[in-house]
Chain A
Amino acid sequence: MRPPACRVLALMNETTAAAAGARPTPARHEPWWRNTLLGLGFCGPLLCLFAFLVLYPILYMIYMGMDREIYEDIFADPIFIQTLWNTVIFVGVAVNVKMLVALVLSALFNTDNRFARILSGLFLLPWAIPSLPGILAFRWMLNGQWGIVNKILNDLGFAGYPWLVRRPTAIAAAIVYHIWKYLPFWTLIFVAGRRSIPRELYEAGEIDGTTPLQRFRYITFPMLRNLFMICSLLSMVFTLGDFVIIKIMTGGAPGDSTHVLSTLAYRYTFLMGKLDWGVGTFVVALPVTLLFIFILIRWVR
């Protein structure tokens, strides 16, 4: 045992080390297996979760999906092909537009303007409200006969449009809802990212007489690029599995032309009773998803 004075010194040293991001020091004079047992013991519930509710279902799904015939069948189904395109459009457009707008808007909330500050409180509202109420409100607003959107268009002298009854506008509606709901969250993330950029960089930039656009191009964007890429990829993976937006907004209508992966798998499995087709739908998307996830895990660590 060390004398108290040494302990205080060591404590100060190690506190600075810990503050500098060092890994916690292992308890000394303990056999390694004791720590291993202890660590695994505390992780016990988590490990059970992973084993029975993550790895087992995934392997089970891959096992169920190991039949060539499923893929011959579903790739012969035109609805499946259309669904793949829908998913690519939905994820690609919704996530990228949202992220770009969030990046730009984060500049607005990074100012010390009072109005912007009040707005940032209200701005969180779409994110706080659960998905279903928001989607239902959009659905009624876009209703061809009784929706407020067409009513406003009529009052302005334009013809109304059956938004949710035509494939392009129905998918666009889902995209608009996605942006409405998740824009606040990612904007906040980018505001936090902007706040972590040292102010001196901007001060130096101003002294050099750069325009705001140049400062964005040469200071903000390079500093936020990694954050932007990680957030975009993360949001893409999350959105790839989205079920509720399409299910509630369009239900796949008109004529099953607006499905995304998870709503189509739901239709195959629970409405048509073709469980293996449902599994196949997800298995087709699994390679891309797993690739994205592994890139993300590597980046984040």
Chain B
Amino acid sequence: MRLRGWRKVAFYGVCIALLVWTVFPVYYMVMLSLVTWEDLFKPRLYVANPTFENYLQTFTQANYFVSQFWLQLYNSVSIALMTTAAVLVIGTLGSFALARISFRGSRTIQGLTLFTYIIPSSFLSIPFFKLMADYDLIGTKLSVVLVMITFASPYAVWILWDYGKTIPPDIDEAAMIDGAGPLAIFFRIYLPLILPPMVAIATYAFLFAWNEYLYAVLFLSGEKYITIPVAMGNFLATDDAPWNILMTVAVLYSIPPVIFYYCFRRHLVSGLVTGAVSGV
């Protein structure tokens, strides 16, 4: 399609407007992480006196607001990794049953999977809080991980199941005739075949837990035990919060997801899109 005249102008006009709309808040966030405390209160479209002082302060934990930065980063990473591992186990096992075995109750499980995927996680926050308090889990990473597993697993099952059912069932039968049991089929045949969507699912689960704010706020407290997003939220508790350092933490916290998204973009987007489009 070749564009001419006013259509060309309109097309590029829309593109440029979209570019500014998309990139400007991100640009501004990065910019604020490079300004000094004084410049923070002189809004400009560019950095007048760029400084890495904020990054230095964050890395050396020199500022009161980032005094436990590395520990908080560790908390974020470990919660995300535990969630990823558990979601992969639950997702592969469940999707194997749904995709490769026809059994009574599978439709109910499909329904429950969809239900859990769709229901907003915040709706269950109060009963979850009671539950975790009853089992004395408030303040532990396990409490956050359990909730993250609950809400991340359904999507994992859904995508892996969608992929798993495209594998011809006769591969299983041939293996069975050769004497392979269900566990051997799962480990030797099913797992290697669903490796591509598993990469996308692992990324999804990691980022799901990495990005979580509500349940981390509810269950974790104390500078040494909270995750990065909770620490960022805590900046807002005071009026004189150093927003340049806050934006530095924001940039650092955004880097892993952005890298993940762009590395696994093809997997992630195709997985997510087929998940939504195949439902039609």
Q: CB within 8 Å of B: which residues of A?
A: 1, 7, 10-11, 14-15, 18-19, 23-27, 32, 35-36, 38-47, 49-50, 53-54, 56-58, 60-61, 64, 105, 108, 111-113, 115-116, 119, 121-134, 136-138, 140-141, 145-148, 150-151, 180, 184-185, 188-189, 192-193, 196, 226-227, 230-231, 234, 237-238, 240-244, 247-248, 251, 261-262, 265-266, 269-270, 275, 278-279, 282, 285-286, 289, 293, 296-297, 299-301
Contact between chains at B25 and A300 (CB < 8 Å): no
Q: SS class of chain A's interface: helix, strand, loop or mixed?
A: helix
Contact between chains at A47 and B25 (CB < 8 Å): no
Task: Give min CB distance, B17 to chain A, whole Å.
Answer: 11
Tally inter-chain residue pairs, CB-CB below 8 A.
311
How far is it, in angstroms, between the C-alpha of A282 and the C-alpha of B129 when the chains are bound? 14
How many chain B residues sit at the interface, stated as a range, is 35 or more
Contact between chains at B280 and A241 (CB < 8 Å): no
Contact between chains at B93 and A18 (CB < 8 Å): no
How far is it, in angstroms, between the C-alpha of A125 and the C-alpha of B23 when the chains are bound? 8
Contact between chains at B118 and A141 (CB < 8 Å): no
Contact between chains at A57 and B131 (CB < 8 Å): yes
**Candidate in A42, A131, A278 with the most chain B CB atoms within 10 angstroms:** A42
Residues on B with C-beta less than 8 A from A57 are 124, 127-128, 131
Task: Give min CB distance, B36 to chain A, whole Å.
Answer: 14
Q: Tell me if B193 is interfacial: C-beta within 8 Å of chain A.
A: no
Contact between chains at A54 and B116 (CB < 8 Å): yes
Contact between chains at A35 and B102 (CB < 8 Å): yes
Contact between chains at A24 and B169 (CB < 8 Å): yes
CB-based nearest B residue for A229: B280
Within 8 A of A (CB), among B53-105: 89-90, 93-94, 96-105
Q: Tell me if B142 is interfacial: C-beta within 8 Å of chain A.
A: no
Residues on A with C-beta less than 8 A from B254 are 128-130, 133
Q: SS class of chain B's interface: helix, strand, loop or mixed?
A: helix
Across the interface, A39 reaches (CB within 8 A) one of B103, B111, B243, B250, namely B103
Task: Give min CB distance, B201 to chain A, whole Å.
Answer: 14
Contact between chains at B280 and A230 (CB < 8 Å): yes
Q: Tell me if B40 is interfacial: C-beta within 8 Å of chain A.
A: yes
How far is it, in angstroms, between the C-alpha of A131 and the C-alpha of B254 when the chains are bound? 9
Contact between chains at B168 and A46 (CB < 8 Å): no
Across the interface, B21 reaches (CB within 8 A) one of A41, A115, A140, A180, namely A180
Known pairs A18-B169, A105-B18, A301-B111; list 12 more (Cβ under 8 Å). A24-B102, A25-B169, A45-B93, A54-B124, A119-B18, A125-B26, A130-B253, A137-B26, A138-B25, A141-B28, A146-B41, A296-B118
